Amino acid sequence: MELWQAIAIALMYYISDSPWPIGMGYWVLQRPLVAGFIAGVILGDPVTGTIIGATMNLIYLGHITAGGTMPGDMALAGYLGTALAITSGLDAQAALALAVPLGLLGTVVWFTRMSISSIFVHWADKYAEEGNIRGVMLMNFVPAQILLFVIKVPTLLIACLYGPDLVKGVLDFLGADILHALMVIGGILPALGIALNLRAILKGSTIPYFFLGFALSVYLKLDIVAVSIFGAILAFLHIQFTRGGENRGISA
């Protein structure tokens, strides 16, 4: 990896957690699907980056932050994981297994940032006491963003520069059995992403639709676009039919 590529990836890791991209960092730029594509562009191989990122994203499908909890740093997995996978020539499923420990490591960054940023709230309190609007407004992003930049960019720069050799060395040392194990793990980890998502939406009368979607894909081999069209039609019918039971008038 060239120095400028390492710098670019490190910067993207910060930007994806910053407010600058219309607040779309967490929603868009942190998703491994997008991060893999961007890392691929930086490393001159957007197609491989996209494949790796898309595969990694499966475990972060049900990634929900509610009330500030964070089950893994998907941006670290997406940017660093893709970069390491491309430079060490890993295939997508093995790369997915590599993403997991990275994602867990990234939660350290999250806890650090969430704890230290509490201090800045008190700085804002002081400006509020003085009636200084501008001061309060600045306290919402200046200190926290400097902190985030300082934590994220150097860490990732070092990881990008020294990571590839390390990963390659470890894999060469461990051999084919480990690669097979990584593939198996990479194959089953999406179950967690999917189950996490189900926890949010699988309840009561929606349960059969999960099995329907599963059957549509394993028996009829339909792709996701086709399944979502059927799903949209079913969603419409579902509301129509359940509405009558509640004896509600036609509203809206």
Partner 1 sequence: MESRPKKLTKGDIVKSMLLWQFFSHANYNYERLQATAFAQCMGPVIKKLYQTKEEISAALKRHLVFFNTEPDFGAVIHGITIAMEEERANGAPITDEAINSVKTGLMGPLAGIGDTIVQGALIPILLALGISFGVQGNVFGPIMFALVLTCCLVGITYSMWMQGYKLGRVAVEKLLEGGIVKDIIAAAGVLGCTVIGALAGKFVTLTTPLTVTIGKTVVKIQADLLDKLMPGLLPLGLTLLVFWLLKKGKSPITIMVYLMIFGAVGSFIKIF
Scanning residues 4 to 63, which ones bind partner 1 (CB under 8 A)?
18-20, 22-24, 26-29, 31, 33-34, 36-38, 46-48, 50-51, 53-55, 57-58, 61-63
- How many positions of this chain bind partner 1 (CB under 8 A)? 119
Residue 6 or 189 having the CB closest to partner 1:
189
Compute the distance between CA of residue 27 and CA of residue 206 in angstroms, rounded to an integer: 25
Contacting partner 1 (CB under 8 A), which of 4, 176, 225, 247? 225
Q: For partner 1, what does the binding mask look like between residues 188 and 207, x meaning CB under 8 A? A: xxxxx-xxxxxxxxxx--xx
CA–CA separation, 60 vs 192, rounded Å?
8
Measured from the CB of residue 243, what is the shortest distance to partner 1 in angstroms? 8
* Closest to 152 in 3D by CA, of 79, 67, 71, 59: 79
Q: Residue 4 or residue 115: which is nearer to partner 1 going by CB?
A: 115
Residues 109-138 that bind partner 1 (CB under 8 A): 113-118, 120-121, 124-125, 127-131, 133-134, 136-137
By beta-carbon proximity to partner 1, the closer residue of 50 and 155 is 50
161/213 with CB nearer partner 1: 213
209 binds partner 1 (CB under 8 A): yes
* Residues in contact with partner 1, shown as a per-residue x/- string from 150 to 169 under the rule CB under 8 A: --------------------
CB 6 within 8 A of CB 43: no
- Nearer of residues 13 and 37 to partner 1, judged by Cβ: 37
Assess 218 for contact with partner 1 (CB under 8 A): yes
Stretch that binds partner 1, among 1-9, 83-91, 152-160, 177-185 (CB under 8 A): 177-185
Interface positions, 63-92, toward partner 1 (CB under 8 A): 63-68, 71-72, 92
Is the Cβ of residue 54 or residue 161 nearer to partner 1 in the bound state? 54
Amino acid letter for position 23? G
